[in-house]
Amino acid sequence: MILCHCAIVTDRQVTNAMDDGQVGLGAICRATGAGSGCGQCVPSVRSVMRRYALARAAVLAESAVTSLAQFATSQAALEGDSHAAA
Ligand code: FES
């Protein structure tokens, strides 16, 4: 979907810029060209950035929960082993 009609920048280009490590509205606009004309696309760029950040946070949170569950399982197994050995 085209976000910036002045520079013809899509939402995918914005998320690609974020994937490439661009952080912040200014950096993303410089990387993509969005916002370089009339500026009407800036709220849309911000919205894409917000959705991307929320999606990334959800993935990281899910990964953290999985890691904690694996840790708890391994701890329980270790405790079970130590009880069995005693
Ligand atoms: S629509 Fe993006 S600068 Fe005009």
Tell me the per-residue pLDDT of 31-66, one tens digit each, with 9 for 90 and over.
999 999 999 999 999 999 999 999 999 999 999 999
Say if ligand 1 is within 6 A of residue 45 CB. Answer: no
Decide if domain 2-85 falls under CATH 3.40.190.10.
no
Q: How confident is the model at residue 81 (pLDDT cuts 50, 70, 90)?
A: confident
Say if ligand 1 is within 6 A of residue 5 CB. Answer: yes
- Predicted local confidence at residue 83, as pLDDT: 67
- Percentage of residues in the chain with pLDDT exceeding 70? 95
DSSP state of 5: T
Say if ligand 1 is within 6 A of residue 36 CB. Answer: yes
Least confident of 1-5, 20-24, 46-50, 76-80: 76-80
pLDDT, mean of residues 23-36: 97
**Which residues, including other chains, have CB under 8 Å from residue 50's CB and lie 6 or more apart?**
none
CA 45 to centroid of ligand 1, rounded, Å: 10
3-class state of residue 10 by DSSP:
strand
